[in-house]
Amino acid sequence: MRTVQEELKLERLRKEHETTLYSFEQSNRIYFETMVPSRGETFYQKEVFRHSLVQLLKEEERGQGLFYLIFNKEGTLIGRLNLTISGETADVGYRIGEAFSGRGYAKKALALAIEEAQRHLHLQKLTAKTTSAHIASQTVLVKNGFYEVRRDKEIFMWKGKEQQFVYYERLLT
């Protein structure tokens, strides 16, 4: 368990987190779906959710990822952060619950994950992807030393806006 300025903690995902994580995902579903495509109705069925959690834990056992929950100083689950590992590269993904967005938690959690990756993992690079309209996510990445490497040429419509995927990297060496 790691802390940043005693404001938040990253905890590795465990089976015991199931109820808390399920509640977090349920209560933030509508908010998350304003930024990313829905995971579908079945994801939110208890058994399917449980299976998904078990699969993430198996991925971690195989060294394919590290999955963290982000807790504030009061012990409330406020978000999650994933490192999906492939060789010497890990792709970063994160989400902060609606009630806690705009407070710098994503930036701090990502900084902590970067520190963890530099200390304990043999990674050379972190990558991330967001949409052109998701300025907050782009800002979090840039403030943590990521730089834009490319934009998809393909434009797509999302929530009535033209968008494209934007790719970022951060070297760890």
Q: Give residue 42's pLDDT.
A: 79
- Please state, in angstroms and rounded to a whole number, the distance separating the CA atoms of residues 108 and 115: 11
Give me the amino acid identity at 4: V
Q: Give residue 43's pLDDT.
A: 80
Q: What is the dihedral of CA 111, 144, 108, 80, to 10 degrees?
A: -80
Strand order, beta sheet including 147-151: 2-4, 8-12, 65-72, 77-86, 89-96, 125-131, 165-171, 147-151
* pLDDT tens sequence for the chain (173 residues): 444 445 899 999 999 999 999 999 999 888 888 777 767 777 878 888 899 999 999 999 999 999 999 999 999 999 999 999 999 999 999 999 999 999 999 999 999 999 989 888 889 999 999 999 889 999 999 999 999 999 999 998 877 888 899 999 999 98
Q: Give residue 149's pLDDT.
A: 98
Q: Give residue 135's pLDDT.
A: 92
Domains and CATH numbers, the chain: 2-171 (3.40.630.30)
Sign of the four-CA dihedral 48, 50, 54, 60: positive
Q: Give residue 5's pLDDT.
A: 47
Q: How many other CB atoms are there within 10 angstroms of residue 54's CB atom?
A: 12
Q: Give residue 34's pLDDT.
A: 77
